[in-house]
Amino acid sequence: MALPSDKRRRNRFPSPFSSGGLLDDLFQDIEDSFFGGSSGLSRMGNTDIYEKDGKLHYDLELPGLNKDQINIQAKDDQLIVTGEVEQQEEGEGVNYLSRGRRYGRFRRTLPLPEEVEDPEKLSAKFENGVLEITAELSEALGEEKAIDVEIE
């Protein structure tokens, strides 16, 4: 069985590194690592960050992982999510027609604003490939404190 070749570009914009040959994937990976492309593990951790009911929520997509493969740290003004997707062993007699899944370590650094009440009280749950991290806020985000100044 032959699969049609996939000559579509992974990104919407043409790559200055495109050779049109066998080295395209290698150059695409190099380009992605320098310019933050969307292939490979850089896609891990698509994230929504929102405020609701006095709490800050981070929802990260981490498909194919389990909670034992994920580490969360709060450090300074950052929330750091790391992990590793391990490559599955190739079984005997397996003949891949295409391999598009990526393996290796990933790291996602997210802002942790000063309005987070206590970083030690962060909570997290992982369900259906989505990591949900919640932080209590001491005040609403984006609220500007206005100070009235008297004119003499």
Q: Tell me the two tokens of residue 11.
A: 């990104």
**8 vs 71, higher pLDDT:** 71
When the pLDDT of each residue in the chain is averaged and rounded to a whole number, the result is 75
Taking the CA atoms of the chain, what radius of gyration do you get in angstroms?
21
- pLDDT tier at 48, thresholds 50, 70, 90: very high
**Where in the chain are the domains?**
44-89+100-136
Above pLDDT 70, what percent of the chain? 67
What are the CA-CA distances from residue 6 to residues 22, 54, 59, 116 (Å)? 12, 47, 32, 46
Instruction: Report whether pLDDT(57) > 90.
Output: yes
pLDDT of residue 30: 55
- CATH code of the region 44-89+100-136: 2.60.40.790
